[in-house]
Amino acid sequence: MKKNIEVKRPPLKFAETQKVIKTIQEKLNAPVLAYWTSANGSVCDNDTMALRQVLEQVGPGQRLYYFVKSDGGNGRASLRMVHLLREFFPEVIALVPLNAQSAATLLVLGANEIHMGTLAHLSAVDTSITHDLSPVDKDNDRVRVGQNELHRIIGLWNKENAEYKKNPYDAIFQYIHPLVIGAVDRASSLSTMLCEDILSYHMENEKKRKKISEILNNKYPSHGYPIVLREAIKIGLNAKKLDKEVDDLLLELNELYSEMGQYCKTDYDEMNYHDNEILNIHEVNGMQIFFQVDKDWHFRQSDRTWLYTNEKSSWKKCTMVNGELTEERFHIR
């Protein structure tokens, strides 16, 4: 029975992560702020509230080193986060030991310098969206539709059917609703604007901003195309090689965060499970804020969808008080 099954809890590694962050700060002689998301986490609007809280902990200063590891998320949230960082620190240096993709690429574009490790990569920032009218996949979930994919479909259609002069949209509309295509086009314009706005925080050359934005939005054949250090320099970003000792410490920090953010699901039976995963983490010296899922999932066979119940997910804040770890809810609505 469900009541006899102990729910799995992810480990908290505050003492260990704090030790690594302090070591990095001593090495760089400046404050370090870490931002990490799991495979199921993403850059989101609520991150801005958590970021402000940890920035208040650090206090305003001249230079900040910002460790970013994420697969991406909401580009608008990235702009808000860059604005916050710039309000507290006129000089921001991004530390990228691993992946900082999509909206996370937008986030590091707001830094004066991007220091990339041996495993680091950025990605294209072209936008794809999940719309209420998007097609569904085999699991009955809405799929993401991107502008780049649509352009390629139309380009191939015109190339292969040039002699027939048929309208490609007659065929496309059978699979993708016209409102979805309109929403994707609008989102693509937003992505270009976000990219240019974020770069403007430290890059005065408007022509260069537009060039970099155009490349990141339209050049690459895949949204996940890995932009390594060599490519980042080539397209005009102020990217440099990350110090090896710092790179090793950041990989150690990532390992600790990965342990915290491990899959943490408790199966009750084949139709029900509990999810308790940690998704997003913000941390500075003396404080860690993270978002933890806490809810039950049930599979409804009638329409093959998962529904959640007993939603208790929340942001939590960890600090040290008189040498003891304290954990409390950080309320964000």
Collect the ranges in the chain with pLDDT lower than 70: 1-3, 126-134, 138-141, 143-152, 154, 161-165, 181, 183-189
Cβ burial of 286 (10 Å; 0-12, 13-18, 19+) is middle
Task: Please report the pLDDT score of residue 84 as a whole number.
Answer: 96
Task: Please provide the distance, in angstroms rounded to a whole number, between the alpha carbons at the two ends of the chain.
Answer: 34
**Cβ contacts of residue 212 below 8 Å, gap of 6+?**
109, 195, 199, 235, 236, 237
Among residues 4, 5, 1, the alpha carbon closest in space to that of 266 is found at 5
- What six digits make up the tokens of 135? 């097609």
| Structure confidence at residue 1 (pLDDT) | 43
Q: pLDDT tens digit string along 193-219? A: 899 999 999 999 999 999 999 999 888
| Nearest alpha carbon to residue 36 among 247, 198, 261 | 261
Residue 148: is it exposed, middle or buried by C-beta count within 10 angstroms (0-12/13-18/19+)?
buried
pLDDT of residue 5: 84
Q: Which of 307, 275, 273 is nearest to 294 (CA)?
A: 275
Nearest to 78 by CA among 54, 109, 50: 109
Domain boundaries, the chain: 2-124+220-330, 128-185
The interaxial angle of helices 147-160 and 178-199, nearest 10 deg, is 120
Per residue in 99-119, pLDDT (tens digit) is: 999 999 999 999 999 999 999
CB of 110 closer than 8 Å to CB of 209: no
pLDDT of residue 2: 57
Q: Name residue 129's beta-bridge partners.
A: 145
pLDDT of residue 211: 95
CA 188 to chain centre: 18
Architecture of the domain made up of 2-124+220-330:
Alpha-Beta Complex (3.90)
